[in-house]
Every structure is written in structure tokens, then in C-alpha cells.
Amino acid sequence: MDRYLVISSDCHAGLPPEQYRDYLDPKYRDAFDIALPIQIEETQKAAKKFLVADINAEWRKGRESLLSGAWDHDQRIKVLDGDGIAGEVIYPDGITEMNMPPFGAGLSLPTEDPIVPELQWAGARAHNRWLAEFCQMAPDRRAGVALCPMLWDVDEAVKEVEWAKENGLRGILIPTRWGKLDAYHHPKYDPVWAACQDLGMVVNLHSGAAPMEDYGEGQGMMGIYISEVCWFAYRPLTFMLWGGVFERYPKLRLMVTEGTSVWVPEYLQLLDFRYADTPYSAKLGDYTGHLSMKPSEYFSRNVLVGASCMPRREAEMRYEIGIENLAWGSDYPHPEGTWPNTAPQMRETFMDLPEDEITRMLGGNLADFYGFDASKLGRIAAEVGPLKSDFRS
Amino acid sequence: MDRYLVISSDCHAGLPPEQYRDYLDPKYRDAFDIALPIQIEETQKAAKKFLVADINAEWRKGRESLLSGAWDHDQRIKVLDGDGIAGEVIYPDGITEMNMPPFGAGLSLPTEDPIVPELQWAGARAHNRWLAEFCQMAPDRRAGVALCPMLWDVDEAVKEVEWAKENGLRGILIPTRWGKLDAYHHPKYDPVWAACQDLGMVVNLHSGAAPMEDYGEGQGMMGIYISEVCWFAYRPLTFMLWGGVFERYPKLRLMVTEGTSVWVPEYLQLLDFRYADTPYSAKLGDYTGHLSMKPSEYFSRNVLVGASCMPRREAEMRYEIGIENLAWGSDYPHPEGTWPNTAPQMRETFMDLPEDEITRMLGGNLADFYGFDASKLGRIAAEVGPLKSDFRS
């Protein structure tokens, strides 16, 4: 094949907020009607805080119909084809297109007041129902990730994993922050990991949430947020690694998305250093006996990192990160994403690297991880994928 | 000179807990008598959690009198001379020698219940009074760091900076975590930074505190703690950098101790990347206008990293970290410290590196940062310092 098979590790989709009503369990529709205007107001406030209105209005100008690919099948196919992308992993959307699921069941799945667990579950399920339909419109191309606020209730979470599997979704998105609830090393979550392992569902962490309460409103808050947000995205990995989750569930797959990948080498060095028998750790007694491998070995086997809008530097670090642990992503339809400049950005990142390595990072790793049908997807890539010759100077 | 002038960036000292009574403002002595047995019990509990009793009892055997250098002048001189160390930066001590200051005024300066601000201040001042005396017994060799729980009260903090300066101490230790109080980018703390800059007092962060409430009690908690604790040690730096503290106080000096130094290169890369005009940051508007330099430039000018028990790898990373931003430390009297194996560990770390670079990392950087009198200290180093020839293979 003279073209690359490209899969994006990081795309977003969600309905305009009022349209979620039909996907909601009827008993929550009264609550929905009350909550909707509040949600829209809150989303606008957040958008104002995180996105300077003028810049984004400017960016969106003339792109409105293509941006409606955030929920519209035809527009989305047009955008992805134009970007050379055959397949995609789909997360919920957020403040940019104002299309968040109801009741705080957004990308961050917060656990703090005023979130009501039962309602957040209802909102998550409304989104999952719609997403399952949306993915069925192009089942070979779309790996949908179900919202799963698992911290509230393990039994509900297991049910949702099963429902998502039955309905063609490929993984679950779990909160990256746990507030006062138990963190991810707690053995109570084992049934969720077991279900995901048994059903081949990928567990997903996506960046975005961070302790905004620490940042205040003043000068510097945005710089602090964007400096810390990646750490908070992969923080659960630290808990899962040391908690022995990948020891007990050796086939569990964990995806960490849009947290960059530059942290990986130093992070694994540190954890391996801590794991080894050093003077530092000697005084702390045996805290590694439940782990048969080094942290970096679990990482290598169980984890994939979604490098959204991957800059050249991350491609240059591919051996340190792990050539099989790194996956490019476009982050459509977000303004910080590669679209509508995907082709030149992709070339800048991968130019003159070995073909088999580009193949892995642009799509091969994701195909394996999420179970895309590479032959079916290959037929699409043969038409829309970027030419391999474009990556040779 | 045929010997290196060695200064340790990380040593600890503190009185056996009952002896702090005499240094406490008399009006707090009744409270002290009530709190002392509780404190001892709590310290023992913490020691049990963090230090496996058997391992440490074994380690201490036969070293009791030298370990009493944690508060005893003569023993301390003996230990430091034996280690080849001419000068030292002195932080409060902790659970190893059971010699924490009263009322929660320990290394971590926690802000959570059941801490009472007024009492924590009183405990901090008791320690500072003793420390000032202790440093006066060897004023050329000892740079004492005053406890300063500045988050409670800016006016009190400024007073303490002034008192510490007048009494020969060289810097202040501030909490690395702020709980529900304002974080370090808040402009309300400017008077503290101003006082430190004007009086040449070094602001110090020391690792140890971490969100234990997240870690629970179970398997994995210790691995998670030692993987995250360094991040929490330098987290305030992120807030100070983006908050513009080093823009407004260009001569302020910040020391980050015992948090390793391996994080520095990737951390600065990330912050500089965020600072630069990228598609990622464009949508967020202008959040760098108040900063005239890149984060790495402030770091280079204003920050020193105390690399306790520095392994060879950190010495190999010295150019990426900054040859003038890195300072070796022994962590005496802690079991994870280099003592009593300082000489061989030091040789392993620095063997065959250029002499002028070893000079900087072993003591030169610290002499400049804390204002040690290098000529007076040089006379001590001429007697006890490690031979330069020992660092050539």
C-alpha cells in the first residue's frame, strides 16, 4: 500500500445539549428540563474562562458546518476523509462545541458538589446510547468510548461495561480525579478491571480535569493549569501500577490521552528507580512484593499513550516512550487540534522516519489496542490516507 | 587547594521533643505539656507507617551517639568532619530521630485539622530560637533555615523573616502544600517575597508532604507516595513561576530540596513549551504577558535544586538541569542519607567529571546561594574535605 492507515487516538463527539433529552431514561427528563439552562450557562462560563471568546469566534468563522461533525455523521466523514483519517477513538466533547452530556457527565466526570451520582450516571448513559448509534453509522471507523463514572458504584460500572460491549462500544472513560472517593489502587474496583479485561474493553483516561480550586482566578492561573493538567491525566496510572492492577489483570489495556507523551521516559525511570532496592526505599520495608515486574514493564505491556497533535519532539522520543506505546491523535473538533492543518503537521512530525515506525504511531498501535478491523479500515485508508511518499524529503 | 569544599544542601536538626519546652513562649507551655505525649504517640505512629521498625532499629545500632548529632553540637561536628562536609543547610528534623518541633511545626507545616495556626507559629518559633543558638555554635558552617508557616498570616511571616535574619539564620522553610489556603501565585504573599529578597533570605521547599488521604492504607500506598512526593515538593515552583513572583522579585532565591533533580529538564521543557505561542495555547488568550522571560530563564536565575544523595545519573544530567542549579546533599541524619557511606557514594557520583563542575555541585553553588563565607569555610575544607585526587580514576 502506498498510503498510511491513520487512526486518531483522540476525537470528540457529542450532541447539542438539548438533544440529549431523547436519549435519557424518561424518569430523568423533568430534572433535565430544569438542569438544561443551568448547564448551558455553566458551559458558557467555563468557555469564557478557558477559551478567549474572540479568538475562538474568529477560528470558528466559516467552519461552522464542518464543526457540526461533532454530532453530524456526514460532516464528520467529510472532515475525517479530508484529514486522511480512516479510524478514530471517540471521547465525549466539551466546551468548544458546547455539546456536553447532561448532569455533569462530561469528559471530566467530576465527583464534587453539586454532582448527584444517580444523575451523572443517567447523563452518562444518555451519551452512551447516542454514541453507540453514532458509531453504528460507521462501525469500522469509529471506536466509541462509553462514559463510566465508576467511582460511585462498582456494580453499576460493571453493568455499563457490559452494556457498552454489547452495543459495540470499545472502551470506557473513567474520571482522572476521585475527590474524596477511593483512588484506583483500591481492590474494590477489581470487578471493573476484570470486566474490561474479559470483554476486551479499553480503560481510558483523558486529560482536562485539574484542581481548579487551587488555581484561583488571578494572573498565572492559566499557565499553572496547562502545566499541571497532563500530570493529573496520568496520575491514576501511578495508582494502578503500584496497586498491582496490571499484575492481577495482565491483559487489561489502559489508554492515556491528550496528556502529551513527553513525561513517559522520566516517569518510568523514576518508578523503576523507586521499585529497585535502593537506600531510599530500604527503610520503607517491602512494598514491591506484590509486583512481579518493574513499573516500566507493565507500562510497556498494558498502556498506550494518545499523543494528540503530536509534535516532532515526541516522535523523536519514540524509542524512550516505546514505539508500540505511542499513538498520534488529531483532537478534532477542538481548536488546539490539528484540523484543518492535519496534513502539514503530520508531515512535520513524521518526516523521514522509518516507514514501519510511522505505521505503528499513525494507526497500527491503535488498531491492535482497540480491535479495529485493519483489513476493512485499510480499504478506506487506500482512498483517503496520506501518501507514504509525502513523508520522504 | 587539593581538596573540595563540600556543603550539604540537605541536613536536619532538631531537639528531642521535651526540650523544646524551654524555647517556647511561656504562655504556650501549658498547651505544650498537654500536647507532648500526643505528639510523641503520633510521631511513633507515623514512624511505624513510614519506617519499618526492624530495619531502622538495625540501622541505628551502634550509631546512637553519632545520630545524637541531630541536636548535639560536638557529635554533629564529628560526623560532618568525618563525612568531609565543611558547611551545611539545616532543616528541621522528623520521624527518624523523633525530634520534631511542637504543635505540628515540622518539616511539612501542614495546614489541615487539627493544626491550630497560633500554636503552629509558636512551635515554629521555638524551633527557630533553638536553631539560631545551634547555628551560632558554628556560624561559618551552619546555614539554618527558619520554619515559616507563612500561609496563615503574611504579617507574621514577614516578622519571622526579619527575626530570622537578625538572628543569623539564612532562609525560611515554607509549606509545600496549602490545603484550602491560597496558593503561592496569590499576590497577597508579595510582602514575604519582598522581605526575603531585600534581606537575602533563601525561600526553601523540602519534600515530604503529599496527599496521604489519597493513598489509603492498602497495598501500593508506599509506592504511590514515593512516586509522587517529589512532584509535590516542587509544585509550588509552578505556581510561583506562572504567578510572576520571580518577575516582580528578580533577586529572590528559591531552593527545592530532596525532590531529586531528574524532573528538571522535562519540567522546564514543558513550561517553556506552554509559554511559547503554540496552537495549544492560542485559544487560551494572553496568559504570558506579565512574564518577560521564559520559565526556564527564571529557573536558571532564581532556583537551586538540592539533590540529596545524588546518584550518578543526576550528575550526568547536570548540563540539562543547569550546572549552577544543582547542589549535592547528604541528608544526615536520615537512614536514606549518604552517611555513613558518604565518601564512596560521592566518588561514584562525581568520578572523572571536570574539577570546576564538581566544585560547583559539591559546594560552590550553595556557598553563593546561602552566602557562606567561602574563605572561612575553605580553611575547614582544607582539613576535612575529600581529596580531589580521589575523584580521578
Q: What is the domain partition of chain B in residue ranges?
A: 7-391
pLDDT in the model for residue A114: 86
pLDDT in the model for residue B46: 80
pLDDT in the model for residue A335: 85
Give tens-digit pLDDT for A322-367.
Answer: 999 999 999 999 988 999 999 999 999 999 999 999 999 999 999 9
Element (H, E) at A379: helix A374-384
For chain A, the average pLDDT equals 94
Check CB contact under 8 Å for A239 and B216.
Answer: no
Check CB contact under 8 Å for B223 and A50.
Answer: no
B326-329 sheet: strands from edge to edge:
B7-13, B87-92, B142-147, B171-173, B202-206, B254-257, B303-308, B326-329
Check CB contact under 8 Å for B220 and A243.
Answer: yes
CA distance B332 to A107: 47
Name the minimum distance, in Å, from the CA of B210 to any CA of chain A.
13
Q: Is residue B352 scored above 60 in pLDDT?
A: yes
Q: Is residue A279 scored above 60 in pLDDT?
A: no
Q: Is residue A259 scored above 70 in pLDDT?
A: yes
Q: Is residue B386 scored above 80 in pLDDT?
A: yes
pLDDT in the model for residue B287: 83
Q: Are the beta carbons of A50 and A135 closer than 8 angstroms?
A: no
Q: Which CATH architecture has domain B7-391?
A: Alpha-Beta Barrel (3.20)
Banded model confidence at residue A289, pLDDT cuts 50, 70, 90: confident
Check CB contact under 8 Å for B223 and A275.
Answer: yes
Contacts of residue A227 in chain B, CB cutoff 8 Å? Answer: 238, 242, 270-271, 274
**Is the Cβ of A236 closer than 8 Å to some Cβ of chain B?**
no
Q: Are the beta carbons of B119 and B103 closer than 8 angstroms?
A: yes
Name the minimum distance, in Å, from the CA of B208 to any CA of chain A.
13
Contacts of residue B178 in chain A, CB cutoff 8 Å? Answer: 214
pLDDT in the model for residue B280: 59
Give the CA distances from residue B348 to residues A318, B49, B344, in Å, rounded to whole numbers and listed in that order. 31, 32, 6
Mean pLDDT across B186-206: 98
CB atoms within 10 A of CB A354: 11
Count A/B contacts: CB-CB distance under 8 Å: 169
pLDDT in the model for residue A95: 75
Lowest model confidence (mean pLDDT) among A295-299, B67-71, B97-101: B97-101
Q: Are the beta carbons of B150 and B115 closer than 8 angstroms?
A: no
Banded model confidence at residue A240, pLDDT cuts 50, 70, 90: very high
Mean pLDDT across B214-243: 94
Specify the higher pLDDT residue, A284 or B295: B295
Check CB contact under 8 Å for A183 and B222.
Answer: no
pLDDT in the model for residue B279: 55
Pick among B10, B177, B224, B268 to test the A interface (most A CBs inside 10 A)? B224
Give tens-digit pLDDT for A154-177.
Answer: 999 999 999 999 999 999 999 999
Mean pLDDT across A255-260: 95
* Nearest-by-Cβ selection for B238 from A186, A227, A270: A227
Picking from B291, B157, B298, the residue whose alpha carbon sits closest to that of residue B237 is B298
pLDDT in the model for residue A51: 66
* Nearest-by-Cβ selection for B182 from A216, A241, A243: A216
Pick among B229, B239, B258 to test the A interface (most A CBs inside 10 A)? B239
CA distance A125 to A221: 33
Name the minimum distance, in Å, from the CA of A120 to any CA of chain B.
23
Please report, rounded to a whole number, the percentage of residues in chain B having pLDDT higher than 90. Answer: 85
Three-class SS of A236-276: HHHHHHHCCHHHHCCCCCEEEECCCCCCHHHHHHHHHHHHC
Name the minimum distance, in Å, from the CA of A179 to any CA of chain B.
8
Q: Is residue A59 scored above 90 in pLDDT?
A: no
Which residue type sits at A372? F
Picking from B287, B11, B288, the residue whose alpha carbon sits closest to that of residue B145 is B11
Contacts of residue B214 in chain A, CB cutoff 8 Å? Answer: 178, 183
**Is the Cβ of A242 closer than 8 Å to some Cβ of chain B?**
yes
Q: Is residue A56 scored above 90 in pLDDT?
A: no
pLDDT in the model for residue B382: 97
pLDDT in the model for residue A281: 62
Mean pLDDT across B316-337: 95
Q: Is residue B149 scored above 90 in pLDDT?
A: yes
CA distance A243 to A239: 6
Name, in order, each residue with C-beta under 8 angstroms of A202's C-beta and a sequence gap of 6 or more: A145, A170, A171, A172, A196, A253, A254, A255, A369, A370
Q: Is residue A277 scored above 70 in pLDDT?
A: no
**Is the Cβ of B279 closer than 8 Å to some Cβ of chain A?**
yes
Check CB contact under 8 Å for A283 and B51.
Answer: yes
Check CB contact under 8 Å for A222 and B282.
Answer: no
pLDDT in the model for residue B51: 66
pLDDT in the model for residue B148: 98
Banded model confidence at residue B55, pLDDT cuts 50, 70, 90: confident
CA distance B117 to B261: 32
Contacts of residue A244 in chain B, CB cutoff 8 Å? Answer: 219-220
pLDDT in the model for residue A328: 98
Please give the span between the terminal C-alpha atoms of chain B, in angstroms, as a whole number: 19
* Nearest-by-Cβ selection for B227 from A242, A285, A336: A242
Which residue type sits at B290? H
Check CB contact under 8 Å for A281 and B220.
Answer: no
Give tens-digit pLDDT for A12-33.
Answer: 999 999 999 999 999 999 999 9
**Is the Cβ of B262 closer than 8 Å to some Cβ of chain A?**
yes
Q: Is residue A103 scored above 60 in pLDDT?
A: yes
Q: What is the pTM of this model?
A: 0.96
Mean pLDDT across B266-277: 90
* Nearest-by-Cβ selection for A222 from B178, B186, B284: B284
Specify the higher pLDDT residue, A48 or A77: A77
Specify the higher pLDDT residue, A280 or A183: A183
pLDDT in the model for residue A55: 74
Contacts of residue B298 in chain A, CB cutoff 8 Å? Answer: none
pLDDT in the model for residue B276: 86
Give tens-digit pLDDT for A148-157.
Answer: 999 999 999 9
Mean pLDDT across A294-305: 98
Q: Is residue B219 scored above 90 in pLDDT?
A: no
Q: Is residue A278 scored above 90 in pLDDT?
A: no
Contacts of residue B241 in chain A, CB cutoff 8 Å? Answer: 223
**Is the Cβ of A272 closer than 8 Å to some Cβ of chain B?**
no
Specify the higher pLDDT residue, B334 or A3: A3
Mean pLDDT across A4-17: 97
Element (H, E) at A26: none
Q: Is residue B42 scored above 90 in pLDDT?
A: no
Check CB contact under 8 Å for B227 and A271.
Answer: yes
For chain B, the average pLDDT equals 94
Check CB contact under 8 Å for A222 and B55.
Answer: no
Mean pLDDT across B214-231: 92
Check CB contact under 8 Å for B220 and A226.
Answer: no
**Is the Cβ of B211 closer than 8 Å to some Cβ of chain A?**
no
* Nearest-by-Cβ selection for B187 from A218, A224, A283: A218
pLDDT in the model for residue B355: 98
pLDDT in the model for residue A29: 98
CA distance B103 to B99: 12
